[in-house]
Structure 1
C-alpha cells in the first residue's frame, strides 16, 4: 500500500508508528490549505512579513524573498508559524483570489480563471449581470454597452448573425419597449397581432400608433402622418439649395405688379380720365423631385413697376436652365388698366382705375383694386386711394390685392393706392382740375418654396 492518499498526497499513519501526531498534523495542515481555498493574491511578487498564519498566496513570475524565490510560479505558499510551506495542489482545486475578486482553477499545472473553462450553462432559472435577477426579470443585465457579433468562418461560424424572437401566437405580444426614467416612450414589435408596428408615448400611459406594416402586402401606414413640410418665402435674389431631408419642392412664383398711371387734369368743359391700374404680376406653380433638379436654384425676384411702368419677371433657374417664370404686370395707361403678367395661373390683383371727371365736371367714382388669387383666403384689393391688402399666410396663396384707384377731385386728384404684396398692381391716379393724382406703385414679386420630405 502507498503511504499517502492518491489525490491530495495526504500522509497515512503507519501501523505501530511512533509520534503519530506529527503525520496527522501534516495531513490536517495540507487539508486546511486546500479545502475552501482562498488566497490573498496571485500577483504579489515580494514575500511579505508578519502575515497571519494560514494565509495563502499563489506565486507569480519573478517572486522574490528568502523562501518564495525557491519555488516556481504557480506554487501555492502557506504561512505557518512564522515560516512558509509549499502546499502541493492537484488538478481540480478551486481558489478564490481576494485582491482580484476572481475564481481560478488548478489545471494542467497552472491556474486558469474559472470563466475560461465554462463552455455551457444549461437550464438556468435566473441570470443577473451587474444586478440581481428576480422572478419578474429572470434575465437582468445592468451595463453601459453590449455587443453581439457574428462568429466568422475562421472560428467555425458562417459570418452571419440572426437574432430570433418568438411569441406563442398572433394574440400575444412580442415587442421592444424603450423607456426613459423607467417610463415607456416607444414600443416596437408585434403588439397583440402580427402587424409590425411602432407606438410612442409622452408619459408612459397614453400611447399613439405611429407606424404599422401589413404583413399581407407590406404596405406601410402612418396613422399620425409622416410628411415633413416647410415653407420658404423668398423676396430677394438668392441661390438656394434644398436641405438634405427634402424629396420634393413645390414652387410658386409671382411677377412684379405694374404701376398705375397718373390721372389726367384740365379745365372745365373737357373730359379728364383717371389713370389705369397696373396689371397684376403673373403666377406660376410647379412641383419637382429633388433628384431631377440639375443643381442649386438661382432665384430672381421681380420688382414692382413705378408709376405707369411694367413690373419685372420672377424666375427660377437651375444650372442655367429656366424651370419656372412669371411675367410682370403691364403698367396702366390713361383710363385703362394694364394687362396681367404671363403666368400659368390667374394673376395677382390688378390696380383699380382712378376716378374721372366728365366735361360737365361730374365725378366718376374710382374702382377698387382687384383681389389676389389664392387657394383659401384672398388678399382684398384696396378701396379708393388705398393700398391693396398684403397676404397674411403665404403658404395658402402668394398674390396680394391691387391698389385702389384714386378718387377724382375738382382740385387735385387723389393718388392711386400701392399694390399689396406680392405682385399686385398699383391703382391709377384720380383725375383733377389742377392736377391728376399720381399712379400707385406695383408690388414686388415673390417666390414661395414648399419643401416636402
Structure 2
C-alpha cells in the first residue's frame, strides 16, 4: 500500500506510527495550499525577497534561485522554507478576480474579470498569433446602439496597410483600403498573385483615378456634365448634341452679339436675328470657331433653299460680345458647281 494519496500526494497515517500528528499536519498544510488555490503571480521565475506565509506562485519556465528546477510547479512559502507542489490538469486557481486553469503545460485564463488584454478569442473557430479574433459563421452583425455605428481599421503609419481583404478558398481576390500609403484604393486579382488597381482616390485631393480604365454602360448625369445645349462652364463633360456637336438640329440662336461658346448653332430666321449680315433671310447655320474673352470668330452658312442665295460669310469681333464685322467668302451668285462637285467662279 502506498504511503501517499494518488491525486494530491497527501501522506497517510500508518499503523503503529509515532508522532501521527506530524504526518496529519503535513497533509493539512498541503490541502490548505491547493484547496481554493490563490496565486500571487503566474509564470513567475524570480523568488520574492519577503514572501508572506502560505503565499503561492505559479512558476514559469526558467525559474531561478530557490525556485530553480521547479518550472511549472506551485511554490508556497511555509514561513521558513518553500514547498513545491505539482499541479494536475484541470486545477483552477485565482489571481485577484481572474480565474486560471492548468492545462498540463500552462495556466490559461478561464474566466477573466473583463475581456481586456486577452490573448485571443475564437468563436466557433480557433484564433492564432496573427488572427487573434476568429469567427466561423454564416454572417456577422454590427449594429448601432441608438445612433450611428463605425468600424475602425487603424494602422501605425502611412507605409503600413489598413484594408479589407476578400478571399476565395484563402486566396486574395479583392482588397479595399489604404495599402502602403494613405491613398484609398480598390484592387482585384484573378489568381491571388497578380493584382490590378481599379480605383485610387488621392488622399490629398480626393480625386479618383481609374488606372485600369473605366467602362460606363449607363447615362452620365449630374453637374459634372453640361446642363444645357449651350452650357460653357469649365471642366464639364460634353454631351452629344451640346453646341451642335453630333446633333441633328444644332441649338437655336437669335442674337449673335452675345457671348457664344465654340460649336455649331442654328439661326432659325436671319431676318429676325441680331448681328447677322444685312439683307439675309431664311435660316442659317453658324459655326463659332473661336470665342475667347478677347474676341470671337464666326462662319455663317447661308440657307440652302429654292430661290435663296447660298454661300458663307466670315465674321469677327474684337471682344467677346458686340457687333460682328462680316466678310463674304462666296455665294451662289458668283460661283457655280462643276460636274465634279467643285465650286468654281462664275
Same fold (TM over 0.5): no
Identify the TM-score tier after normalising by the shorter chain: 0.3 to 0.5
More strand by share: 2
TM-score by length of structure 1 reads 0.34
